[in-house]
A and B are shown apart, each in its own frame.
Chain A
């Protein structure tokens, strides 16, 4: 809830997610930092900013659904109907 420099500047430890991606926050992928060492260098990225983007993306996508239609139908539900 509040801002502290040390807390924001220390990302959670990385786990490998694929040959080219890692994960630090649950369900959030990041590029393997080794791939950004020559032509594009990564920026200083406090934790709040990562989470802000992840949440904003989810909000934006939900907004787009609402923008195009009132409700979204679940494919899992329809699949159950087939059986």
Chain B
């Protein structure tokens, strides 16, 4: 686990490949690429530092850097936005941190086939500002929408808030150029890739090269599927007097089969309590409000109105109180980027403390949402019982798809990171493992959107994948014979023992 100390000749070679300004060796340069928003044991910051940072500008430069690293057996950690929540972009063994943010050009907007091709360092909000001129839209919409980058979305196989209408990253990215751990460049997609959205030719490799958290290489240029920018949006929020009614309503809304349906979200009692602390929409709500549901629809005005009326009727019949246009519209607009609101924490005595927001997620079937919710809150309560370092901020359940089968289920836990020490870190890692175990016990998956390679949760991945995990090891060994690509993640060292 010791960091590889990079010798001057390696740095010199990197500078030859990339040019002087794009090879950074300063301590601040390295410190600032050591973490992502996932809980971070700051007292162990130094263990997560890369030895050198490189900022390539092209697929060719990435390939040269990776080939060099493979030849010299130096770890390479790909990093794009660094907004992921499972430590994919965190170096565990030093080495070269490969930062692809400079590869952010729009190479082509194809109006005929409705695709665009971009460098993976680009952000979707910025891309959509350009696409809007063509009345087009790339609907990959994580809670980090204003800051996450396309390469990270591929590397984590991201989840989109409006994925029930448009699909998630795996559906929206058609193909990409990918640098393998040996430095060889391949093009990955369905069949020949490019702009093909469906092929039955050969193995379906696209999924393999998405969501690997940088352990199988680096995507550098991607072709994306585009949609017409929606004419209309409808985002009703409803209040309920108990969780069970809200739960019944969210299920009915998701199962209604409305074509413009893009999302439904269930807020549980803990979440409502949390929002009453400091959210302008919920502070004035009467105490009878115990749970919330919202939905979102996108499409042409006439179809959204028709679908919207249907959902309004379903909700009303199930005891919902519509919260009004102001809250509905304001709160929905904030969902695209309400991903980080520090300071929200409270000590058990009620004092405000600086906490960071941590979302722990799983994919859970609709039937199991109530049970998982109770088990998860019990884990959070156990953390809270022992320490002011942790705070339970409640749960959301978001539809994964248009039929309402399963939900991205998240519990938000505030962490007073500055007070983390070895003991509280260990308690956190245990909680993380327990949360994952609950998900598996209920037939769920450890993660719907973040990935599952952090301490704690990762221990259960072999159990989750079963025989599939052996295939993961075989693939890793075959594609990365020297274990240079993001080593230490997903317990993949086992591939080499």
Chain A interfacial positions (CB closer than 8 Å to B): 17-18, 20-21, 27-29, 31, 35-40, 58, 60-62, 64-65, 67-76, 78-79, 81-82
- On whether A18 and B276 interact (CB within 8 A), knowing A61-B334, A62-B333, the answer reads yes
In the A-B complex, list the 7 residue pairs whose CB atoms are closest, starting with the nearest: A69-B233, A61-B333, A64-B333, A69-B230, A73-B234, A75-B236, A39-B353
Q: How far is the CA of A76 from the CA of B235 in the complex (A)?
A: 11
Residue of A nearest to B304 (CB): A73
Which listed segment binds A: B6-14, B149-157, B342-350? B342-350
Whether A64 lies near B336 (C-beta < 8 A) is yes
Give the residues from 114 to 162 in chain B that come closer than 8 angstroms, CB to CB, to chain A.
125, 128-129, 132, 137
Between-chain CB contacts (< 8 Å), 13 pairs: A17-B283, A17-B284, A21-B283, A28-B280, A29-B280, A64-B336, A69-B229, A72-B232, A72-B234, A75-B234, A75-B312, A79-B322, A82-B316
With an 8 A cutoff between CB atoms, is B477 at the interface?
Answer: no
Question: Smallest Cβ distance from A38 to chain B, in angstroms?
Answer: 5
Looking at A60, A69, A76, A81, the one whose CB has the most chain B CB atoms below 10 A away is A69
0/1 per residue, B235-276, Cβ < 8 Å to A?
A: 110000000000000000000000000000000000000001
Q: How far is the CA of A57 from the CA of B229 in the complex (A)?
A: 23
Whether B333 lies near A81 (C-beta < 8 A) is no
- On whether A31 and B352 interact (CB within 8 A), knowing A39-B347, A73-B308, A75-B328, the answer reads yes
Q: How far is the CA of A60 from the CA of B346 in the complex (A)?
A: 27
Residue of B nearest to A54 (CB): B280
Residues of B within 8 A of A21 (CB): 277-278, 283
Residues of A within 8 A of B378 (CB): none
Whether B351 lies near A39 (C-beta < 8 A) is yes
With an 8 A cutoff between CB atoms, is B354 at the interface?
Answer: yes
Whether A72 lies near B128 (C-beta < 8 A) is no
Residues of A within 8 A of B301 (CB): 71, 73
Q: How far is the CA of A38 from the CA of B249 in the complex (A)?
A: 42
With an 8 A cutoff between CB atoms, is B19 at the interface?
Answer: no
Whether A79 lies near B351 (C-beta < 8 A) is no
Whether B347 lies near A79 (C-beta < 8 A) is no
Label chain A's interface by main secondary structure. mixed
0/1 per residue, B90-133, Cβ < 8 Å to A?
A: 00000000000000000000000000000000000100110010
Whether A69 lies near B333 (C-beta < 8 A) is no
Whether A68 lies near B233 (C-beta < 8 A) is yes
We find that the number of chain B residues with CB closer than 8 angstroms to chain A is: 46
Whether B229 lies near A70 (C-beta < 8 A) is yes
With an 8 A cutoff between CB atoms, is B298 at the interface?
Answer: yes
Question: Smallest Cβ distance from A42 to chain B, in angstroms?
Answer: 9
Residue of A nearest to B137 (CB): A68
Contact partner of A78 (CB less than 8 A), chosen from B129, B312, B346, is B312
Question: Smallest Cβ distance from A19 to chain B, in angstroms?
Answer: 9
Looking at B137, B334, B351, the one whose CB has the most chain A CB atoms below 10 A away is B351
Residue of B nearest to A63 (CB): B333
Q: How far is the CA of A21 from the CA of B277 in the complex (A)?
A: 7
Whether B231 lies near A40 (C-beta < 8 A) is no
Whether A78 lies near B308 (C-beta < 8 A) is yes
Question: Smallest Cβ distance from A12 to chain B, in angstroms?
Answer: 17
Residues of A within 8 A of B313 (CB): 82
Whether A71 lies near B352 (C-beta < 8 A) is no
Residues of A within 8 A of B232 (CB): 69-73
Whether B278 lies near A71 (C-beta < 8 A) is no
With an 8 A cutoff between CB atoms, is B329 at the interface?
Answer: yes
Whether A76 lies near B346 (C-beta < 8 A) is no
Q: How far is the CA of A72 from the CA of B301 in the complex (A)?
A: 9
Question: Smallest Cβ distance from A57 to chain B, in angstroms?
Answer: 9
Q: How far is the CA of A78 from the CA of B336 in the complex (A)?
A: 24
Residues of B within 8 A of A78 (CB): 234, 236, 305, 308-309, 312
With an 8 A cutoff between CB atoms, is B330 at the interface?
Answer: yes
Whether B298 lies near A31 (C-beta < 8 A) is no
